[in-house]
Structure 1
Amino acid sequence: MQILTPNYILTPDVLLKDMAVAFDKTIRKIAPLEELQKEFGDADVIELKKNSLLMPGLINAHVHIEFSANKTSLSYGDFISWLYSVIENREGLIGGCGKECMQRAVDAMLESGITTFGAVSSHGMDLEVCAASPQNVVFFNELIGSQATMADALFGDFRSRLDASKSVQREGFYPAVAIHSPYSVHPILIQKALQIVKNEGLKLTAHFMESNAEREWLDKSEGDFKSFFENLLKQSSATSSAAEFLASFEGQKTLFTHVVKASDEEMESLASNGHTIIHCPISNRLLGNGALDLAKVQKHSINWVLATDGLSSNYKLDLFEEMKCALFMHSNLPLLDLARSLIKSVTKDAAAALGLNTGEIREGKNADMLVLELESEPNDELAIHLILHRYNISQIYINGKLQKCSL
């Protein structure tokens, strides 16, 4: 049992002052220090510096660890150009990112305060690193393949990767399923994967409506994807529509990534099914896909969270940087309200979307916590300041275990 004595606690809904936190794996009690010392007499008391702030650890719900070798290899500014550059450089990117490369990505996330992440794994190469990481990991085994003739082989590979992830036995590791997108996965494969998800109670994610190319291909089997599919896959039309794809997920809460080009009808479907949107603003900008309409998302009362995507479409795996970019990208929204929503989107809301007992400084929640060193007493605009100024993170706890300390 340990007791932390911050000056301030961001729960993240409320800012508390001059309270202490008693915890082991979970947060046992929040109260004045004297009260905690009476109740937990044998606990170690950790004195924190003046203007210290305790807040929940950050949750990065969508990242591709396997593509962490990219820095200048891929083409930005247009989705199709980027996609062709991925195909052209795939062997070098995958082959050039061994265990050390992926470990650096995981370590960088931890240094920036990310205590939980959702790893979308295309090949299973990142399983060993993710299994050994100190963070909580939702390991999304990705299913991809739009050709019916290859369905059995592709599903067999997916199933073997999923089984390998299920063999990992450690606290905070959760095998899960990712269905790549409506244009890249055959409906037969989608149904087979969803049956596994339902039978085994697994967490589920998918990409949806990231680009104009996807919009035009699913709606009309036209646009920039037409030559791509005809030349590379000998496929002349989309295997399903957007509506058919979404209908597959009815009754199965899913985290849909991007959703930049979704229609009002599709937004209504996401809302009525209790789905969550994963918003990756830097990735959307770099690939020329525009910005998610957060006002529309809020109008439809859709849950949304913020994530970094992978280094194939980002320059950092850093949620503070992502929040800062989002703060400026969505200039039509009230600044303070947006800042507060962004903080919640990478803590409490992300935990709820992933079904994890974390994301809050609250009794009974897992002790995934950050200690930040503020420069002065916080005011009502703390959420803005946290995003803009990147205060030093002096301590990081995951499931009550200290991971970093620079006090």
Structure 2
Amino acid sequence: MQIITPDYILTPDTLLSNMSVAFDKTIRKIAPLEELTKEFPDAKITKLGKNSLLMPGLINAHVHIEFSANKTELSYGDFISWLYSVIENREELINGCDDGCMAKAIDAMLESGITTFGAISSHGMDLEVCANAPQNVVFFNELIGSQATMADALFGDFLARVDASKGVKREGFYPAVAIHSPYSVHPILIKKALQKVKNENLKLTAHFMESNAERDWLDKNSGDFRDFFENLLKQNSAVSDSSEFLEHFNGQKTLLTHVVKANESELKTLSQNKHTVIHCPISNRLLGNGALDLAKLDEHNIRWVCATDGLSSNYELNLFEEMKIALFMHSNMPLLDLAKKLIKSVTINAADALGLNCGEIAEGKNADMLVLDLDREPNDELAIHLILHRYNISKIYINGTLRKCSL
């Protein structure tokens, strides 16, 4: 049992002062220090410095660890140009990122306060480093393949990767499933994968409506994807349209990434099924896909969370940086309100979307916590300041275990 005493505690909607937190793996009680020492007399007590802030650990719901070798190899500014550059450099990027490369990306996330991440695993090469990561990991085994003739082989490989991830037996590791996208996964494969998701109660994610190329291909079998599919896969039509794709997920809460080009009908479907949208602002900008309409999501009562995507379409895996870009990208939204929503999107809302018992400083929640060293007493605009200023993170706890401590 431990007791930590900061100057301030950030809960989802309230800033507490003159309170301490008693915890082991979970947060046992929040109360004044005197009360906690009486109730837990043998607890180790940590008193923090002036203007210290205790807040929940950050949750990065969508990241591609396997592509962490990229820095200047891929082409930015246009989605199709980027996609061709991924295909051209795929082997070099995959082979160029060994366990050390991937572990470096995971460590960088930890240093920036990310205590939980959702790894989208295309090949299973990141399984070992994710299994050994200090963070909680939702390990999304990705299914991809639009050709029916290859369905059995692709599904066999997918099942083998899912089974391998299920073999990881450690606290805070959750095997899960990712369906790549409506244009890249045949309906036969989707149905089989979703049956496994339902049978084993696995967490589920998919990319959806990221680009104009995807919009045109699914709606009209035209646009930039037409040459791509004809030349590389000998396909002249999409395997399904967007409504057919979304029907597969009816009744199955899913995290859908990007959703930049979704139309009104699709947004209504997302809302009705209580899906969550994962917003990756830096990736959307670098690939030329425009800005997600967060106000429209709010109108439809669609929950959204902020994530980094991978280093194939980002320059660092830092949620504070991601939120800062979002703060400036969505200039039509009230600043303080957006900042508060962003903080909640990478804490309590992300935890709820992933079905995890963390994301807030509250009794009964897992003790995933950060200590930030503020430079002065916080005010009503704390959410803005947390995003704008890279305050030092002096302590990081995951499931009650101290994972970082700097003086």
TM-score above 0.5: yes
Secondary structure in structure 1 of the residue aligned to 2:361: coil
What's the RMSD between the two structures over aligned residues? Answer: 0.3
Per the alignment, residue 143 of structure 2 pairs with 143
Secondary structure in structure 2 of the residue aligned to 1:324: helix
Per the alignment, residue 224 of structure 1 pairs with 224
Instruction: Give runs of aligned pairs for residues 297-336 of structure 1, distance below 5 A.
Output: 297-336=297-336
Instruction: Give runs of aligned pairs for residues 81-120 of structure 1, distance below 5 A.
Output: 81-120=81-120
Gaps of 5+ in 1: none
Secondary structure in structure 1 of the residue aligned to 2:362: coil
Per the alignment, residue 27 of structure 1 pairs with 27
Per the alignment, residue 205 of structure 1 pairs with 205
Secondary structure in structure 1 of the residue aligned to 2:90: helix
Instruction: Give runs of aligned pairs for residues 245-394 of structure 1, distance below 5 A.
Output: 245-394=245-394
CA shift digits 1:6-50 (9 cap, x unpaired): 000001221101100000000000000000000000000001010
Per the alignment, residue 56 of structure 2 pairs with 56
Secondary structure in structure 1 of the residue aligned to 2:86: helix
In structure 2, give the amino acid aligned to 1:211.
S
Per the alignment, residue 196 of structure 2 pairs with 196
Would you say the 8 A contact 1:12–1:55 is kept in 2? Answer: no
In structure 2, give the amino acid aligned to 1:149.
T
1:122 aligns with 2:112: no
CA distance in 2 between partners of 1:114 and 1:306 (Å) = 12
CA shift digits 1:307-353 (9 cap, x unpaired): 00000000000000000000000000000000000000000000000
CA distance in 1 between partners of 2:180 and 2:341 (Å) = 27
CA distance in 2 between partners of 1:196 and 1:15 (Å) = 42
Per the alignment, residue 39 of structure 2 pairs with 39
1:16 aligns with 2:20: no
Would you say the 8 A contact 1:8–1:53 is kept in 2? Answer: yes
CA distance in 2 between partners of 1:122 and 1:188 (Å) = 19
In structure 1, give the amino acid aligned to 2:197.
V
CA shift digits 1:95-114 (9 cap, x unpaired): 00000000000000000000
CA distance in 2 between partners of 1:352 and 1:179 (Å) = 20
In structure 2, give the amino acid aligned to 1:172.
G
Secondary structure in structure 2 of the residue aligned to 1:84: helix
In structure 2, give the amino acid aligned to 1:336.
L
CA distance in 1 between partners of 2:176 and 2:240 (Å) = 24
Secondary structure in structure 2 of the residue aligned to 1:110: helix
CA distance in 2 between partners of 1:12 and 1:353 (Å) = 15
Would you say the 8 A contact 1:257–1:279 is kept in 2? Answer: yes
In structure 2, give the amino acid aligned to 1:11.
T
CA shift digits 1:40-86 (9 cap, x unpaired): 00000001010000000000000000000000000000000000000
Secondary structure in structure 1 of the residue aligned to 2:131: helix
1:80 aligns with 2:67: no
CA distance in 2 between partners of 1:364 and 1:130 (Å) = 26
CA distance in 2 between partners of 1:126 and 1:243 (Å) = 32
CA shift digits 1:221-263 (9 cap, x unpaired): 0000000000000001001000000011000000000000000
CA distance in 2 between partners of 1:391 and 1:332 (Å) = 27
Equivalenced residues, count? 407
CA distance in 2 between partners of 1:387 and 1:162 (Å) = 36
In structure 1, give the amino acid aligned to 2:372.
L
CA distance in 1 between partners of 2:293 and 2:135 (Å) = 31
Secondary structure in structure 2 of the residue aligned to 1:59: strand
Per the alignment, residue 164 of structure 1 pairs with 164
Secondary structure in structure 2 of the residue aligned to 1:207: strand
Per the alignment, residue 69 of structure 1 pairs with 69
Secondary structure in structure 2 of the residue aligned to 1:266: helix
CA distance in 2 between partners of 1:11 and 1:25 (Å) = 18
Would you say the 8 A contact 1:58–1:113 is kept in 2? Answer: yes
Secondary structure in structure 2 of the residue aligned to 1:296: helix
1:233 aligns with 2:271: no
The ranges of structure 1 where at least 4 consecutive aligned residues each deviate by more than 6 angstroms after the TM superposition are none
CA distance in 2 between partners of 1:302 and 1:272 (Å) = 9
Secondary structure in structure 1 of the residue aligned to 2:178: strand
CA distance in 2 between partners of 1:129 and 1:12 (Å) = 31
In structure 1, give the amino acid aligned to 2:110.
L
CA shift digits 1:198-230 (9 cap, x unpaired): 000000000000000000000010000000000
TM-aligned CA deviation for residue 390 of structure 1: 1.0
Secondary structure in structure 1 of the residue aligned to 2:160: helix
Secondary structure in structure 2 of the residue aligned to 1:378: coil
CA distance in 2 between partners of 1:12 and 1:64 (Å) = 28
